[in-house]
């Protein structure tokens, strides 16, 4: 399938969404668990856990679409620009590495560099 076709079809699963072509937007500010044990045993992975911090069906569809378009094994979405910057820095840097960051960089990046790295 060509990329132009993939862009218009990836991330869709009408059979899972009562025939709806585009995945519905799902927010996850509160997740209910049937018992306290179920909450305590919830782990990141497939499905929505911990207030949607690890994603929702909407973000999972986007990640799948982007990974397929890029030919990647997976993709990760985050909730903010700062989250994206921190995730990238933590994925690429190791203890003892040096990174040059301009003084006029996005302020949350500066804060992360000064106080976390």
pLDDT in tens, 46-101: 666 656 667 788 888 888 889 988 999 999 888 888 889 999 999 999 999 999 99
Averaged confidence pLDDT in the chain:
82
Predicted local confidence at residue 43, as pLDDT: 66
3-class DSSP state for residue 64?
helix
Indicate the pLDDT class of residue 112, thresholds 50, 70 and 90.
confident
End-to-end CA distance of the chain: 43
Indicate the pLDDT class of residue 45, thresholds 50, 70 and 90.
low
Tokens of 68: 């397929």
Which residues, other chains included, contact 83 with Cβ-Cβ below 8 Å and sequence gap of 6+?
A: none
Tokens of 101: 């960051």
Predicted local confidence at residue 74, as pLDDT: 92
């Amino acid at each position: 399938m060509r990329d132009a076709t993939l862009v218009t079809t990836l991330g869709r699963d009408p059979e899972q969404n009562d025939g709806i072509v585009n995945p519905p937007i799902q927010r996850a500010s509160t997740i209910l668990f049937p018992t306290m044990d179920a909450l305590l045993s919830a782990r990141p992975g497939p499905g929505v856990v911990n207030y949607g911090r690890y994603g929702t069906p909407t973000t999972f569809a986007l990640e799948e679409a982007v990974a397929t378009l890029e030919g990647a094994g997976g993709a990760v979405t985050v909730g903010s620009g700062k989250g994206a910057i921190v995730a990238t820095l933590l994925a690429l840097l190791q203890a003892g590495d040096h990174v040059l960051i301009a003084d006029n960089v996005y302020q949350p990046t500066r804060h992360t560099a000064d106080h976390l790295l």
